[in-house]
Structure 1
Amino acid sequence: MKIRPGVHNRMAILLLAILLLAKGAMAYAEACSTQQHRQFDFWLGDWDVFDASGQQVGRNHIFSVLDGCALSENWTSASGNAGKSYNFYDAAENKWHQTWIDQQGGALYLDGGLQQGKMVLSGTRLGKNGQATLERITWTRLDDGRVKQHWQSSPDKGATWAEVFVGYYQPRKKDNNN
């Protein structure tokens, strides 16, 4: 079989194009696969959420989106209120961000990162009176497979802290009704 000179060149160009596309696809797939991008993966899952007294206060479904570049949170409280957040690692800033919004229009913007094995995110928001309040939420993976969420608030730039919420995320048991 004879290969015409023009065909050989076109085949080489096609092969080179395929290799470059494959390399680009691999780089894209690896864009969010660093160790830092995986730091919050312990929060992934379907969870029943309980307060410190053991009463169920809601359910949360956290899943990976955008090829592992972000976590999507879908919260439903026991009373039916709902909220969502996106959480992602920003390599340029070397920190994690969370953007939260609920069905009443409440918003929260948090930044931070892993500190001694705990994900700690904080941010300032204005209250209805216009006063700035510092919010800090810490997520801790527990040895029994649960995740503890500890939300604190400070009206004085971190000099004192008040507890807003302590919740325990327990892997949700599958049943025929859910």
Structure 2
Amino acid sequence: MPHRPIAALFAATLALAIPAPPTLATGAPPAAHCSAPVFREFDFWLGDWDTYRVDKAGHTPPGAASVARNQITATLGGCVLHEVYRRTDGYTGESFTIYDATRHLWHQSWVTNEGELLLAEGERQGKAIVLTGAVRDAQGTQLQRVSWTQQGDGVRETAVQSRDNGKTWTPLFDILFRPHRP
């Protein structure tokens, strides 16, 4: 039994020596590695959003129902945006988005409950963040170019696709995120 007090003392000392990591939720400052203004370029997407389809005229029909809930949070000291997207039909996806300072571009990894994977990269173009990546499916390779732009108190996300290595592009989706209303 003489080892029990020593073990307890060691465990208590170890717990004091390794503090819990700070998070943005506790008000801790962003990680020093991610404090430059370029890391905040995509912060307009942070939030708890209801998702609406946009018609060909660029509008959301009056009274349209939300098709998904999308929650974007900052994690890892503010260096990473974590997206959790849940559509009303059961389709779910998550992404991690980070600014890669060594290559001077944004990178996003998107995965879904249907086994999809999209790795997309790009940069700020004017007021938009524009990322391009490739998806492989039964028809071959599909390039996707996705852009996010702040629009009023919301964010508009549009995507186009190409099956001919970027020679021609066709619409894939056009959605608007508005602040979630409980």
**Which bin holds the TM-score, normalised by the shorter protein?**
0.7 to 0.9
Query: What is residue 166 of structure 2 aligned with on the other side?
Result: 158
Separation of aligned partners in 2, 1:29 and 1:132:
37
1:121 aligned onto 2:131: yes
Equivalent position of 1:85 in the other structure: 95
2:176 is the counterpart of 1:145: no
- 1:132 pairs with 2:141: yes
Q: Deviations over 1:139-158 (max 9, x none)?
A: 0101x211100011011122
Aligned-partner Cα distance in 2 for 1:104–1:132: 17
Corresponding residue for 2:31?
29
> Residue type of the partner of 1:84?
E
TM-score by length of 1: 0.78
Give TM-score scaled by structure 2 length: 0.76
Which whole-Å deviations, capped at 9, do the CAs of 1:93-129 have from their partners, x for residues lacking one?
1000000000111110000010011000001222223
Q: 2: distance between equivalents of 1:61 and 1:150?
A: 17
Q: For residues 31 and 114 of structure 2, what CA distance do their matches in structure 1 show?
A: 36
1:83 is displaced (CA, Å) by 0.8
Deviates more, 1:152-161 or 1:96-105: 152-161
Q: Which amino acid aligns with 2:173?
A: F
Contact 2:111–2:118 (Cα < 8 Å) also in 1? yes
- Specify the alignment match of 1:96 in structure 2: 106
SS of the counterpart of 2:90?
coil
How many residues are aligned here? 145
State the secondary structure of the residue aligned to 1:56: coil
**Runs of 4+ with deviation above 2 angstroms:** none
Counterpart check, 1:107 vs 2:107: no
Amino acid across the alignment from 2:40 = R
Matched residue SS, 2:34: coil
Q: Which amino acid aligns with 2:176?
A: Y
**Secondary structure of 1:126's match?**
strand
2:25 aligned partner: none
CA RMSD across the alignment: 1.3
Alpha-carbon deviation of 1:132? 1.7
Identical columns (%): 35
The one-letter amino acid paired with 2:45 is W
Q: Bigger radius of gyration, 1 or 2? A: 1
| Letter of the structure 1 residue corresponding to residue 42 of structure 2 | F
Structure 1: tracts of 5 or more residues without a match = 1-27
For residues 42-80 of structure 1, give each alpha carbon's deviation from its aligned partner in whole angstroms, at most 9, with x where no partner exists.
000000000014442101000000001100000000112
